[in-house]
A and B are shown apart, each in its own frame.
Chain A
Amino acid sequence: MLSVKNLHATVDGKEILRGIDLEVKPGEVHAIMGPNGSGKSTLASVLAGNEKFTVTDGSVEFLGRDLLSLSIEERARLGLFLGFQYPVEIPGVTMANFMKQAVNEQRLFRGEEPLTAAEFLRMMRERSAVVELDPKLTARAVNEGFSGGEKKKNEIFQMAMLAPRLAILDETDSGLDIDALRIVATGVTKLHTAENATVVITHYQRLLDYIVPDVVHVLYKGRIIHTGDKTLALKLEKEGYDWLINDCRE
């Protein structure tokens, strides 16, 4: 589904990604861990198509397409979803209006009819239940005045609305209390199928108690320095990254 080969990227002339290789298959859950500043969020942004970053080498194939040749919105319409670490507030634009345009734009891309108002409202009601999001929030401006927990729930709500093939969740667990973490993580699990895949970027093992990964990667200084199964996350929680980083220096 996603095949990243030797991906290099820079921001303001500084190289952040220095040769990433990553293979994600349908039905898989990958976790990407690593110390601060290792390039985790940059990887998410580059895959999503954020123009702030420049890809200097390597290739990315997504569902058989050359991902790097596509704009942000083309990638989204193909089924790539980014859960933002810091969801953006958009004053004056209601969640309902925003989601209606997004859902229908993606349907149009797939050659499907736009949803009727009734279909759309029912869909919003059903999907907001996935993350126990107060349906009243959909009448409010996007993320405006939302609490930290509501913002993250709202990311997963949007994921539920758009039903992406690949969801990249960038530190969706940061700033969540234990109840909100459970709700958000359970929501992600509910949305998981054999046809879609999830890449979870996180600092903490605790998220992976709920979203159990098939593969765990450690990113350090712009490279994946170690890959293992779910037990790797537990080991990292206990022992930190030093043993891997020391290895890497040798």
Chain B
Amino acid sequence: MEAFLDTIRRFRAVDGRRLTVAQSEATPFAAVDPGQLRVEVAAGASAQLAVVHTAAGAASLEIDLAEGARLALTEVFLAEAFAEVRVRQAAGSAFALVVVQTTSANGSWTVGLEGRDASCEADCLFLAAADEHCVVRLRTDHRVADCRSRSLVKGAAAGRAVGEFHGLVYVAPDAQRTDARQQSRNIVLGDAARIVAEPQLEIYADDVKCSHGATVGQIDDEAILYMRQRGLSEAQARRLRLEGFAGDVVSRCGIEPLREALDALVAAKLELF
């Protein structure tokens, strides 16, 4: 955890309960155990924010993106925190969310697409081992027309761990030409681990493109066999497969030093799988 926090310390620390981004910022912001935080990104401005939970407790984030604003949020759970995040997006704004849970955690994200041509991308990963319990709730509200959302939630559970994904894409009656995609891919290792994946769609408009799907499976034996035939041990092959599985989400993190730290974090966690 220390190495990870060293990376975070290189970013600009968020003090207090409010972060206002008036103009585009190249240096990422970082908030460690934020408690209550309100984030506002002004029209046309862009910013990157890392939120890290290092202690058990509750956190609440309110995020407002003004017209054309852009925010990349990477939220990492290193401790069993309960986090609730609400995002409101004005017209033409773009929100990119990456979530990584490497311990028991409970996170809930609600994204409101409230202005035309707003877009949201969410990539979430949980790795639950032993007795851990990870929860990801993701709600995307398409309130107006011409907005896009895409989400990918991936989870792996080993030991007696439990993972939960509850997803909802809501499309309001006037939100025509909505383009919403929601996917969940999960791997269960062993007989005692469990993953529940529930993606849902609630659509009240008629001219929309929406898709959702969820899979819960085991590591495919064919892939393991293939890698072993090239000389990798079974453990190496499984490890490589799981790293690849997790890498899909981690590679979406646009903050480069943070992405490298996440790779290391994930690799360390996979030692337990």
Is residue B222 within 8 Å, beta carbon to beta carbon, of the partner chain? yes
Is residue A152 within 8 Å, beta carbon to beta carbon, of the partner chain? no
Minimum Cβ distance to chain A for residue B236 (Å): 6
A84 to B227, CA, bound (A): 11
A91 to B225, CA, bound (A): 15
Minimum Cβ distance to chain A for residue B79 (Å): 27
A88 to B216, CA, bound (A): 19
- Check if A105 sits within 8 Å of B244, measured CB to CB: no
Minimum Cβ distance to chain A for residue B227 (Å): 7
Of chain A, the residue at the smallest CB distance from B249 is: A92
List B227-273 residues whose CB lies under 8 Å from chain A: 227-234, 236, 240-241, 243-248
Q: Which of A72, A91, A99, A142 contacts B245 (CB 8 A)?
A: A91
Using known A-B contacts A84-B226, A87-B226, A88-B226, determine if residue A76 contacts B231 with beta carbons closer than 8 Å.
Answer: yes
**CB-defined contacts of A162 to chain B, threshold 8 Å:** 230-231
A88 to B224, CA, bound (A): 9
Of chain B, the residue at the smallest CB distance from A86 is: B222
A84 to B229, CA, bound (A): 10
Is residue A102 within 8 Å, beta carbon to beta carbon, of the partner chain? yes
Using known A-B contacts A77-B231, A101-B232, A109-B231, determine if residue A72 contacts B225 with beta carbons closer than 8 Å.
Answer: yes
**CB-defined contacts of B13 to chain A, threshold 8 Å:** none
Q: Which of B220, B225, B248 contacts A50 (CB 8 A)?
A: B225
Minimum Cβ distance to chain B for residue A170 (Å): 11
- Check if A92 sits within 8 Å of B248, measured CB to CB: yes
- Check if A93 sits within 8 Å of B240, measured CB to CB: yes
**CB-defined contacts of A158 to chain B, threshold 8 Å:** 230
**CB-defined contacts of B233 to chain A, threshold 8 Å:** 73, 105
Fill in one digit per residue for A22-55: 1 if any B CB lies within 8 Å of its CB, else 0. 0000000000000000000000000011100000
Is residue B192 within 8 Å, beta carbon to beta carbon, of the partner chain? no
- Check if B229 sits within 8 Å of A72, measured CB to CB: yes
**CB-defined contacts of A49 to chain B, threshold 8 Å:** 229
Q: A98-B230, A162-B231 are in contact. List 6 more A-B contacts (CB 8 A).
A: A73-B233, A88-B220, A92-B243, A92-B245, A92-B246, A93-B243
Interface centre among B223, B225, B234, by most A CB within 10 Å? B225
Enumerate the 4 nearest inter-chain pairs by beta-carbon distance, A residue then B residue, closest first: A92-B244, A102-B230, A93-B244, A88-B226
A82 to B227, CA, bound (A): 11
List A56-107 residues whose CB lies under 8 Å from chain B: 71-73, 76-77, 81-82, 84, 87-93, 97-99, 101-102, 105-106
**CB-defined contacts of A101 to chain B, threshold 8 Å:** 232, 236, 240
Q: Which of A71, A73, A88, A91 contacts B244 (CB 8 A)?
A: A91
Is residue A141 within 8 Å, beta carbon to beta carbon, of the partner chain? yes
Minimum Cβ distance to chain A for residue B232 (Å): 6
**CB-defined contacts of B230 to chain A, threshold 8 Å:** 76, 98-99, 102, 158, 162
**CB-defined contacts of A92 to chain B, threshold 8 Å:** 241, 243-248
